Structure 1
């Protein structure tokens, strides 16, 4: 997360928040989806990890590209 600087919040839903971020080294902007898993049940947590894995595996010019993912143990 240290390589990204949050520019602004661009969306919010029931389970997460979307941010416009700036990658410091690449000097590019990306959208970061942040989901709080600590208060969610096991099924929701598994679904979130599956979504992250699925997004990482996609390769199509008509679908948004997955850049990075991590879990903070906070």
Structure 2
């Protein structure tokens, strides 16, 4: 399994779809649960969760590991 602590990695100049898919599959549901507790409105909670994933896909270099890594859920 890929290391999730460092975020998605690039392979051959492109994005690693497998790693990104694993990140999404692993963290979208727990992130939604947390957002749902903070944002009572389910639509707002969904927006909060779904915005970072495409941003991370478009620009994985913007991921700042010093601000916190992905930890196993």
Using structure 1 for the length normalisation, give the TM-score. 0.31
Higher strand share: 1
- Relative to the length of structure 2, the TM-score reads 0.31
Structure (1/2) with the larger helix percentage: 2
